[in-house]
Each structure stands twice: as C-alpha cells, then as structure tokens.
Amino acid sequence: MNNKQDKCEILIIGAGIIGLAIGAELSRKGREVIVLESENKTIQHASSHNSEVIHSGIYYKNDSLKAKFCVEGNALLYEYCTKHGIDYRRSGKFIVANNDQELSAIEKLQLNAKENEIEDTRILSNKELLTLEPNLIAEYALLIESTGIIDSHSFALSLEAEIENNGNHIITSSPVTSGRYNGNEWELTIHGDNSYIIRSDIVINASGFNSIDLAKKFGVENLPQITYIKGHYYKYHGKNPFNRLIYPLPEEHGLGVHTSSDMENSLRFGPDAEVVSKIDYRFDSSKERFSKFTDSIGKYFKGFDSNLLKEDFCGIRSRIGATHKSSDFSVLFQRDHDLEGFVNISGIESPGLTSSLSIAKYVAEDL
C-alpha cells in the first residue's frame, strides 16, 4: 500500500461526462481540481454507452431540472462543438404518430415544448412527411429542429484536454471507497492499484451508478432509491434511409426504440428499456428481444430488412423515480444535506449528455 498524502481544492469523483464537464468548467475559472476515476480509462460507463443525441428538452416537465439543464445544455453544447471543432450534426428529429390517439400525444408534446420555450417544432401530415422522409411510415409526425447528434468521445477528450491544459489532473484506476470530513477538510480513501488518502476542501460526487451508495458512505442521509435501466442497441448493416432521427412515442422507461446515427451516418436502433439489479453490459440475444425490435422498427421504417439488424451494445442508466417521465436529476448542495463542501449528483440518466455543460455551470456557480 502506497501511503501518499495529498491535498487539492476540489476533488471530483467520476470521470464520466458529468465529472469531466464540471472539471473543465472549474478549470476554466482557475480553480484547482483533481478528477478521480475508478476505471483505468475515462468514460467507461453511461457516457460511452448511449445514443449520442443532443436532445431538445421537449419531454420534461417545465419545473424539472431535466428541462432546465437540457434546454440550456442543448444550446451550450452546439456552441461548444463549434468553438472546439467537435463533430456534430443538427439533424432534427421526427416523433411519429399513426392514429388520432397518437396525434393527440404528439400535440401534447408540442405544448410541453412550448412551455419549455422550445419554439422550433411543427406537426407535419403524411404528404409533407413523404417529401422529407420517403422511407418513413407515419400519418403525422412532430418535427423538432434543435435535436442533433454529437461525437461524444471527441467531446469528452476536449473536456479532458481543458482540465489538463489548465494545470489540473485526472487520475484513473482510483476508486474512492469512503470519505470523511475531519472538521477542517475532506479525507477521501482510494483503494485501487495504489491506495492512498487524498484531502480537499470540496468534494463533488459524480460517480454515476455509484453515486447514491457512495454518498451514503460520506454521511448523506435520506437519499432516494436508484433504479438501473438497461438498454440494448442493434446496428443496421444497410444504408441509413433517414435524414433525421426517427422516434416512436415515449414509453414508461424510455423514449422508445428509436434511430440514432453517428458522423459516418450509420444507422442504429435502440435502446429498449428494462429494469435490472446490477451493472452488466452483456447483450441478451433472446429471440423475444429481437422480435420486439423488429416489430417496433417495422412500424415506422418502410423497406426495413430484419436480416440486416445485428447486435451492437448495451447501456445502463441510473434513474431516480419510477418512470422516465416522473424521474428527475438530483444535484444536492450543503444547504440540502448539511455536509460542508459536499455536492452530490445522481440520477443523471438521459438527457445527461446534452445537459452536461449546463449542470457544470450550475454546480460551478454555487462553489
């Protein structure tokens, strides 16, 4: 055991996109930061197993943190990508409706979008849709112009570079196992390849799926329950026939099996959504799962060939709250839990990637 003793102003636990965005924001402001990551590389969990969609914020209740951070984060992310040369595509998105009930559901989403001050939405009927997306099966669709996709790996690398170029550090293979406030400063115990204690004035817990368990070890009480939602993705080994992202109506645990794409314009479908008890990224190759995907995709993709659909990867979100609609992000400061200099961030499921720069701004303004 290596008994290093060190001190810095701010320790961030977790080098996912949230920890990195906060680290970069604080670094820009000249604060002294160390990001501690348990894995031997950054972004090994939710931040590298997602759809890479820059969401608009249309789904979330107006008074929620999700709405606040997603709407602001969307604009900040496009701005950041332009400034730092990160690949992105402002593709736009359609949410499809095929009967009166579904039409009324997309009308409600449009109203919610207006409440969240998202003005770039429009409901299109079949005739207009066919000219824009000839391979789409839909009677109606809600168009959201401000949705896009991002090269999230380049985004993470850019945040890392900002942290390091400002003289700060990201230390991998450093799982934080506990922490205590000694009346003057925080002492965090790291038990990894190296074991040591590191001290700081401020601790920001951005450890994703671990954040609730870890916060309890730091002494935060009355924390909500966290639920893990696993999603599978299939890749389509054929041409992407869509110009925009295509979504069905949202479901209980997620946004429905939708299309996503990357900078090479390949086509992927997912994620589905299933409550699980542990972090396990293995792909479930059951026929039932495959059929659920092909049924869902076949409803909106004209000419869909299920033989071209191949297993891709899984991602797991950490949710607070029973359903996608009712859940919200949690960002707690000292005023919320009474622990000196401790910020706890949890439940950052989708749209966490989109929201990352806004969450970072919000946290940094309070410190």
Least Cβ distance, residue 103 to ligand FAD (angstroms): 25
Collapsed DSSP state (helix, strand, coil) of residue 32: coil
DSSP letter at 49? Answer: S
Q: Give the Å distances, CA to CA, from 261 to 52, 54, 298.
A: 8, 12, 18
Give min distance, CB of 290 to ligand FAD, in A.
Answer: 18
Distance CA 86, CA 54 (A): 13
Measured from the CB of residue 330, what is the shortest distance to ligand FAD in angstroms?
11
Return the range that interacts with ligand FAD (CB under 6 A); candidates 3-11, 113-121, 203-211, 334-342.
Answer: 203-211
Distance CA 215, CA 217 (A): 5
Name which of residues 222 to 241 contact ligand FAD (CB under 6 A): 231
Among 147, 168, 294, 350, binds ligand FAD (CB under 6 A): 350
Total site size for ligand FAD, rule CB under 6 A: 42
Q: How far is CA 52 from CA 46, 70, 90, 259, in A?
A: 11, 14, 12, 11
In this structure, the strands spanning 195-205 and 5-13 are parallel
What is the rounded distance in angstroms from the CA atom of residue 107 to the CA atom of residue 111? 6
Nearer to ligand FAD, 142 or 229 (CB): 229
Report in angstroms how near the CB of residue 126 gets to ligand FAD at its nearest.
Answer: 27
Shortest CB 355 distance to ligand FAD, Å: 6
Task: For the CB of residue 116, give the shortest distance to ligand FAD in the complex, in Å.
Answer: 15
Options 84-92, 219-227, 242-250, 311-319: segment touching ligand FAD (CB under 6 A): 311-319
Write out the binding residues for ligand FAD, residues 40-99 only, by CB under 6 A. Answer: 43-47, 49-53, 55
* Smallest gap from residue 54 Cβ to ligand FAD (A): 7
Per-residue CA distances from 231 to 47, 339, 362 (Å): 14, 35, 29
Residue 251 binds ligand FAD, judged by CB under 6 A:
no
Number of Cβ within 10 Å of residue 256's Cβ equals 19
CA dihedral angle for residue 14, residue 20, residue 22, residue 27, rounded to 10 degrees: 120
From candidates 13, 95, 109, 170, binder to ligand FAD by CB under 6 A: 13
Binders of ligand FAD among residues 258 to 277 (CB under 6 A) are 271
Site string for ligand FAD, 317-346 (x = CB under 6 A): x-----------------------------
Residues 168-187 that bind ligand FAD (CB under 6 A): 175-176
Nearer to ligand FAD, 15 or 202 (CB): 15
DSSP E strands, the chain: 5-13, 33-36, 53-54, 88-89, 93-97, 121-125, 140-144, 148-150, 169-171, 176-181, 186-191, 195-205, 227-236, 245-247, 258-261, 267-270, 274-276, 309-319, 330-332, 342-346
- Contact residues toward ligand FAD (CB under 6 A) are 13-19, 36-39, 43-47, 49-53, 55, 175-176, 206-210, 214, 231, 271, 315-317, 348-354
